[in-house]
Chain A
Amino acid sequence: MIGSVAETIEAIERRIDELRVAVREAVRAGDNELATAHRAQLRRAEEAWDDALTTIAAAPPEPPEAVDQSRPAEPSGSLLPLREQVYEALSLLQVPAAPKLIATVHEAFFGSTFPTTRVTSLKRDEERSFRSAPFARPYYICAALSADYLAPSRGLLAVSTWPLERRMIGSLSPRVDFLTAAMRVAEAIERIPEPPPAARRLLQRFAASIPGGSAPGAGANPAAVKEAAAAELTVHTDADDRARHEAAERARQLKQPEQLFGTASFRDIAREAAGE
């Protein structure tokens, strides 16, 4: 649940955004006095934001209420380690996602972002950690597997605690996951009283690629995006579920590390195919 401190933090963040715009406009208009005044306010707001963040960090964790998987456990700034930030974003999306989308979601809903290049090494670190001490951590950031060869699907990250089916990527899965992610993002926006601009932009981008997701001229509306995505999902779900289920059955035969991080034998399989 989003606590009261976090709401304050969000209010401060909005204030910071507004003040930045005010500073920019004052500078552009050549009004130095006004710009200086806004800059001072901006610094105070940033200090307040730091204080609020310290309060969150010091506060005891809230008792886990009926945990809704589709929402983040705790809003936070960039003080969390990268893997936890990735986990937060993936837990909101509930589907395998590429680093860029993960970073955008984190920026939109958790107020901080990270360079996607760092995410690439994250998966490697997670695999190393799992291989040296399996299941020592409550979750791992792992791979989504291509349904044909059970090889790691290029550039997609997932969470190890998800059902295996969800981490299988058949030919329809990218579309299904995209639509599911759109619905999750729309739901998350509906829960926030005043969604930040980054979240609206994200929703807008989803809406642009879903038929009926946005009305011309108007911005994206979470309810409309959800409805449109759900409508298209009904077309794909059956076929996609079958493909994912079938792939998951095969994946269960693999050893644990391969189940999480994919097989390395793709090249051998492909070489056989090449020697047809």
Chain B
Amino acid sequence: MTVGQPPPDPVETRLDRLRGRAIPVNHDARTIAALAANPGCVRRALMDAAGVRKQDIAAHVGLPAPFGMSVFARTRGTAFEALVKENSASLLLALLREHIGLDVASAHYHDLNLVGAGESTPLWHARTRQQLLGADPRTHTMFDHPLLRLKVGGRYAYLEPDLLALHHEGRWYVVEVKSFAIIDGRADPEKVAAAAIQSAVYVHALRDLLGVDANLVHHETILVAPENFASTPAAARLDVRKQLGVIGRQLARIASIEHLLGNYPDDLTFDLDPGPDGRPRRPPGELRDAIETVVANYAPDCLATCDLCFVCRDESRSQGDTGVLGKSVREDLGGIESVHQALGLARGALAPAPEREEVSRKLRHAAAIWDEITTAAGPA
């Protein structure tokens, strides 16, 4: 097995130049999931392919994003995971027996983290591989702490999932433990969506590892989360086929990054020009120009997933981009790119092109209703 850098090629050199002198960031399931959240964003695709440390860039232009999990959320997450997995995942086993009909004899438990975190990750990955592909499938039930990996933009990203791989009736399942509550059979849709896309990253990586037949890894994953207001775990199945498609496309897009690179000048770089003390010396205005050379696709959802979100929001606002108002508004305004243009059409100050006749009529109608309401409410 070879691990490490592929031989340098022109694309790799371009990506290195984009990143500058910074150390490339490592992807994890969260960042790979975020890639798939906004597939239309070239800015993000380029920066992620080059391994640019986006939070440093955002901080240097003065618009850092306040990211990270709160200490409380992290502690709760860790405690719940420990509860589900304690005594070799006995609670989880009970849940799986009830939920997917695991038979009583299937109670094997392998801990793949014998090497221990902090030691060699390739070694840990090798052990995962060796055990999952191991000779005797009769001893396969639960595998705790598998270390998976995915190739993102020419580099391997190691995924250290808080999950178990489960072998049942000849197929593999990804089991992910999350600490948000399932209340009355329902959970926060945003959190479920985030969990689904993360699980999809693991399914993708597990399929990559097992290699043979993609169907061996089930497209349904098992989400384990606390039920109602207690910490009793409950299980639910998540179908992640759609997310798998998005991730596959996005990873392929990063792999064929040379097409995107072709649209931008050769000397484009996001280098911070660090001084001897490690402090960035590049003028923030110049860096900002470099960032804005590459097209972004800002939507309010970015605020939850991307370190550059405040930079892109600021840019979108100053340009009057309709994306600032959210994806649904942008779609309703089909083809109208700026808020200024939309207002002009609504007030009749701009003459609509024939293909915008329909949307202009809607806008004028909306403006009329708005005027009625404001005049009625105004003087009274």
Chain A residues within 8 Å of B, Cβ to Cβ = 98, 100-101, 146, 149, 151, 153-154, 170-172, 174-175, 178, 181, 208-211, 232, 235-236, 266-267, 270-271, 273-276
Contact = CB atoms under 8 A, between A and B. Distances in A.
A231 B50 CA distance: 57
Interface in B56-106: 86-88, 90-91, 93-94, 97, 104-105
Given A151-B114, A209-B94, A232 B104 contact: yes
Given A174-B88, A178-B87, A270-B127, A210 B1 contact: no
Contacts of B130: 273, 276
B115 interface: yes
Contacts of B141: 171
B123 A171 contact: no
Most buried by A among B94, B108, B113, B127: B108
A88 to B, nearest CB: 19
B1 A208 contact: no
A208 B91 contact: yes
B180 interface: no
B94 A208 contact: yes
A121 B263 CA distance: 59
B192 interface: no
Contacts of B86: 98, 100-101
B90 A209 contact: yes
A146 B90 CA distance: 19
B139 interface: yes
B352 interface: no
Contact of A178 (B90, B114, B139): B90
B42 interface: no
A149 B123 CA distance: 15
Nearest to B141: A171
Contact of B114 (A149, A174, A210, A274): A149
Contacts of B109: 171-172, 174-175
Contact of A271 (B94, B107, B110, B123): B123
A175 B120 CA distance: 29
B107 A175 contact: yes
Given A178-B88, A235-B105, A171 B139 contact: yes
Contacts of B111: 153-154
Contact of B126 (A149, A151, A270): A270
Nearest to B93: A209
B39 interface: no
B280 interface: no
Contacts of A210: 94
B114 A276 contact: no
Contacts of B122: 274
B102 to A, nearest CB: 11
A26 to B, nearest CB: 28
B184 interface: no
